[in-house]
Amino acid sequence: MELPTKILIGEGVIEKLGSFVEETSSSRKILVVSGKNVREALRDRVESSIPRMKWIEVTEPDIKNVEIVVRESRDAGSVVGIGGGKSVDVAKLAASFVGLRFYSVPTSASHDGIASPFASLRGTSRPYSEKAKPPYGILADVEIIASAPRRLLASGCGDLVSKLTAVKDWQLARDEKGEYYGNYAASLALMSASVVLSSKNLQPYSIGTVRDIVEALISAGVAAGIAGSSRPCSGSEHLFSHYLELIAPGKGLHGEKCGIGTIMMAKLHGLDWEKVKESLARFGAPVSARQIGITDEQVVESLLNASSVRPERYTILSKVKLTRETAYELAHSTEVI
């Protein structure tokens, strides 16, 4: 198991970034990887906290940007990724390639990649996540995260509820294919999902709720680290999302598509899909394909072909064998289309 060693969550903790990183870094410089907007917004606070640093601006979440960070890392002591999924994943994979400690500093709570040992990038041989190493440390300033667009937080909620069907798929693979199943990792993932699924009394965008979601996303990432795979966090609903990205790139955020996929996969598993839908809607997350610009035909095609993304991963879609008619009925009956 490879798990984060240090986690700091709170309001205004970005001011402590320098001491958080330098406690375990050498006297060499620290690479700070971010997008242009994050650099402009946080530059003064970060530079005053870390005197020996070098900024690297990430333009795309792809291998080319990873290679840029790798080249700049030759005389660095550690790598810090500040931002959303793009910067964190690029920095994470680059640090893994060169064997440096990686620190994750999310500025939004849109998915569980802020803590997991997986990085999702374009230009790789696979449309799903690459194995890397988990962050050595995670610093999450909930004031900064709460100020991000609400759509990003809603996307994080979609990624969290997906653990419900991911764990069911994992159990199915255990029962029918003899695959390894870890009770503790599965329970931790389900507990993360419950933050959204049991949220009737939460104020969706309060600081307290944002912190709960951040902690749940970190816990989900830790569950993957414990399992040694993405199984507790990624199942048929993620395959659906990955295939959608192939045929409709740029339509919808990762967590949004996973949330919509979870509604349908929950019905296939005989779970309370209506509760999933209601919970997502409570946080303003999309519950239909139309809300993210996806057509009915693209939904049906993704349901039919999602298993081809990872044919070795046994899920409910591997067992049920949907036809075009049953795929349409599933999407229509859940009002996804």
Give the pLDDT confidence of 233-282 residue by residue, as tens digits: 999 999 999 999 999 999 999 999 999 999 999 999 999 999 999 999 99
Give the pLDDT score at 205: 79
Write the CA distances from 76 to 25, 51, 71, 117, integer angstroms. 9, 13, 10, 21
Give the pLDDT score at 85: 79
Give the pLDDT score at 12: 94
Give the pLDDT score at 131: 81
Give the pLDDT score at 327: 98
Write the CA distances from 111 to 44, 101, 159, 186, 332, integer angstroms. 27, 21, 6, 18, 27
Q: Which domains does the chain have, with CATH numbers?
A: 6-146 (3.40.50.1970), 150-333 (1.20.1090.10)
* CA pair distance 176, 165, nearest whole angstrom: 16
CA 284, chain centre distance (Å)? 18
Residue 80: strand, helix, or coil: strand
pLDDT band, very low/low/confident/very high, at 128 (cuts 50, 70, 90): low
Please determine, for residue 25, whether its predicted confidence score (pLDDT) is greater than 60: no
Residue 1: strand, helix, or coil: coil
Give the pLDDT confidence of 164-184 residue by residue, as tens digits: 999 999 999 999 999 999 999
* Helical axes 236-247 vs 296-305, angle rounded to 10°: 130
Give the pLDDT confidence of 139-153 residue by residue, as tens digits: 999 999 999 999 999
Which neighbouring-strand residues pair with 254? none
Give the pLDDT score at 61: 84
Average pLDDT, the chain: 92
pLDDT band, very low/low/confident/very high, at 86 (cuts 50, 70, 90): confident
* CA pair distance 266, 231, nearest whole angstrom: 16
Please determine, for residue 125, whether its predicted confidence score (pLDDT) is greater than 70: no
Please determine, for residue 27, whether its predicted confidence score (pLDDT) is greater than 90: no
Give the pLDDT score at 256: 97
Which H or E run contains 3?
none
Residue 101: strand, helix, or coil: strand
Give the pLDDT score at 127: 59
* Amino acid occupying residue 140: A
